[in-house]
Amino acid sequence: MLNIVLFGPPGAGKGTQAQFLSERYGIEQLSTGDILRAAIAEKTPLGLEAKRYMDKGELVPDEKVIGIIADVLEARRDSKGFIFDGFPRTTPQAEQLDAMLEKKGLSIAGMLLLEVPAEELVRRIMLRGQQSGRADDQDESVVRNRIAVYEKQTLPVAEFYERQNKLHRVDGMGEIAAITQRLQQTIDSLR
């Protein structure tokens, strides 16, 4: 099994790159953002609650997202591995993920941090908003709040993996294919 955390600020390209990498390595992309947006579209209780946070650019409470991940790990026990995209976003989420994997005799092979400057993030997200129609990509103040939330609540997760010698920084600027190449080289060095 190969389990990778793809990490970085909103707009760094995690979703795009996770798709390429899941095909390349035959592992599943597990995006909490995608799962939450699907729950919103289906108007489930989880979706209705999550929407209140997502519309403001705030994080959905830990126990909700950890529950999502626990359900997927249980349902997909025969998987060849996962590329976690947008999870973990807080230190308690990272701790719980380690605990859940450990119970199954598994672990995270590495965390890949896509580095992109803040102004480029805003530019990319606003552009994506014009095409995707994602509510939280439309409003610049919400976009800036998501970046602030990332810096305050999510960046400590990188230190969590650094303490385990699992943090790998990858330049997230340039051509999409060049970034994929850098990520692949890093993953190949882990195996």
- Is 134 catalytic? The answer is yes
According to CB under 6 A, which one of 8, 57, 129, 172 is a site residue for ligand AMP?
57
- Total residues interacting with ligand AMP, rule: CB under 6 A: 17
Query: Position 82: which residue type?
Result: F
- Upper half-sphere CA count for residue 44 (Cβ side, 13 Å): 10
Q: What are phi and psi of 190, to 5 degrees?
A: -90, -15
User: Is residue 128 a contact residue for ligand AMP (CB under 6 A)?
Assistant: no
Question: What ranges make up the beta strands (E) of the chain?
Answer: 2-7, 28-31, 81-85, 110-115, 167-171
User: Is residue 33 a contact residue for ligand AMP (CB under 6 A)?
Assistant: yes
- Is 24 catalytic? The answer is no
**Catalytic position from the list 37, 124, 146, 166:** 146
- Is 128 catalytic? The answer is yes
- Is 146 catalytic? The answer is yes
Q: How far is the CB of 173 from ligand AMP (least distance, A)?
A: 19
Nearer to ligand AMP, 29 or 93 (CB): 93
Taking the CA atoms of residue 11, residue 17, residue 18 and residue 23 in that order, the dihedral angle to the nearest 10 degrees is 160
The angle that helices 62-75 and 32-41 make with each other, rounded to 10 degrees, is 100
User: Is residue 32 a contact residue for ligand AMP (CB under 6 A)?
Assistant: yes
Asked if omega into 88 is within 30° of 0 (cis), the reply is yes
Q: Please say whether the dihedral angle defined by the alpha carbons of residues 121, 123, 126 and 128, taken in this order, is positive or negative.
A: negative
Angle CA 159–103–38, to nearest 5: 70
According to CB under 6 A, which one of 5, 83, 89, 128 is a site residue for ligand AMP?
89
Per DSSP, 59 falls in state P
Give the binding range for ligand AMP (CB under 6 A) out of 20-28, 38-46, 51-59, 96-104. Answer: 51-59
Which 152-181 positions form the footprint of ligand AMP (CB under 6 A)? none
According to CB under 6 A, which one of 36, 40, 112, 167 is a site residue for ligand AMP?
36
Residues serving a catalytic function are 14, 89, 128, 134, 146
The footprint of ligand AMP (CB under 6 A) covers 10, 32-33, 36, 53-54, 57-60, 65, 86-87, 89, 93, 136, 146
